[in-house]
Amino acid sequence: MLRFTIRRVALSLVTLFILIFVVFLMTWLTPGDTARRLAGPFAPQERVDALNEQLGLDDPFFVQFWNLLVSVVTLDFGESFSSPGVQVVDLVQPALWNSAKLVFLALLLTLPISIIAGVIAARKKDTVLDRSIVTLGLASASVPEFVSGVILQYVIGVRLGWLPAISDIPDGTSPLGQIEYLLLPALAIVAVYFGYIARITRAGTISALDADYARTAYLKGLGTTQVLRRHVLRNSLQPTVAVTGTQIGYLFGGLVGLEIVFNYPGLGRLIFRAATTPDFPLLQAGVITVAIIFMICTLGADLIIAWMNPRARMNLGGS
């Protein structure tokens, strides 16, 4: 397991290096005079030139790339372009924490519901219940989260007034109170991922239930619950774990539409703003943060799968 872990971490680091290079290349190739944007259209040229020098924007390509690598290692991306005087890390940190809260709540709601629904659908394969779960899942997954978000926001937030229509959490709100603000966007995420995860769980469970070891377990006289718990779920949930691992990374950085709809200060909105401003240090820090989360989550998922399934460890050179 240790060899497997080391190997996976090494692979992740290589991927991260390539990604950092790609992010750097994209920002480096972006046309326009960055210092002029920062100084403002009315600023004298001398100030623009001084800013170019101060920010190292005149440095050679590899020097700038090296500086970015150093920034990643030291977690010091300097000052934000769009918010002079504010450190990039001070912008990313709260946004990351906000995204983490939303993702955590969404997963807390999504995973149990979806897994239970998927297992039930598998157990009741080809019945009305199975088809209902699959159809409902397909329907909800086909609507983008920001669309279902708008509907939830209007119906529950504006018309019924049951929950806050926007997720701008006031300072000093208790953790329980914060859930109230996060519930609508979290439900919008649940709507999308319920169908996705339930279907994957269903397929994995059907496959596991059809496997020889499940039949053997039944023949040994074990009850359905015991078969599921001891033999089936351990195998059937591996695809679910893998998918969840990759989707968490997306949830951190990809919920731009939903965060705008709910005016929620998450990482996706921050990256979007950095990209449109454009604020290169913030953009680089935001994208690299999402990439690191993505890798940590997929690595975590792989480790869980490896723990669940020794064959996976063997395939990646573990022992």
Partner 1 sequence: MDWKRLDSARRNAEPLQVDLIEAYAQKRIKRRDFVKRGTILGLSMPFMGAVIAACGSDDDSSDTTEGTDASTGTSVAGGSGAAGGNLIVAIQQGDSSTGLDPVNMLDLGTYNVVSQSFEYLVGVGPDGNIAPTALSTGWTPNETGDTWTFDLRPGVTWQNGSEFTSADVAATMDRLVEVGNAGLDGVIGAGAVDASDPTKAVFTLIEANGNFPVLVSLFNAQALITPVDFANGDTLDARPDGTGAWILDSFDAATFSAKFVRNPDWWGGQTPLDTTELRGFADIGTAVTAMQSRDIDAIQQFSVIGGEGLLNDDSFTVLTPPSANHRQVWFNLAAPDFAQKAARQALAWSLDRQQMVDTLFAGRAEIANDHPILSSLPFYDPDAVEQRSRDIDQAKALLAEAGIENLQVTLQTGDLQEVPQLAAIMEQNAAEAGITISVNTQSNSTFYEAGWCPELYGVESSDPATLPCESSFAFGIVDYGHRPIPDVYLGSALATGGVWNSSNYANADFDAKLSEYRQAVDVEGQKAAIGEIQKILWDDVPAVYPYFYNYLSGHDESVGGVQATALGHTILSSATKG
| Residue ranges in contact with partner 1 by CB under 8 A | 32-33, 35-44, 47-48, 80-86, 91, 94-95, 153-154, 157-158, 161, 164-166, 168, 260-263, 265, 269-270, 272-273, 276-277, 279
Nearer to partner 1, 157 or 245 (CB): 157
Smallest distance from partner 1 to CB 183, Å: 14
Measured CA to CA, the distance from residue 179 to residue 174 in angstroms comes to 9
Measured CA to CA, the distance from residue 16 to residue 182 in angstroms comes to 31
One-letter amino acid for residue 115 of the chain: I
Nearer to partner 1, 80 or 244 (CB): 80
Smallest distance from partner 1 to CB 149, Å: 10
Smallest distance from partner 1 to CB 36, Å: 4
Nearer to partner 1, 94 or 317 (CB): 94
Smallest distance from partner 1 to CB 193, Å: 23
Measured CA to CA, the distance from residue 292 to residue 15 in angstroms comes to 10
Nearer to partner 1, 273 or 313 (CB): 273
Do 230 and 217 touch, CB atoms closer than 8 A? yes
Q: How many CB atoms lie within 10 A of CB 15?
A: 14
Do 118 and 197 touch, CB atoms closer than 8 A? yes
Smallest distance from partner 1 to CB 117, Å: 31
**Residue showing tokens 């059907």:** 206
Do 200 and 119 touch, CB atoms closer than 8 A? no
Nearer to partner 1, 126 or 171 (CB): 171
Do 202 and 122 touch, CB atoms closer than 8 A? yes
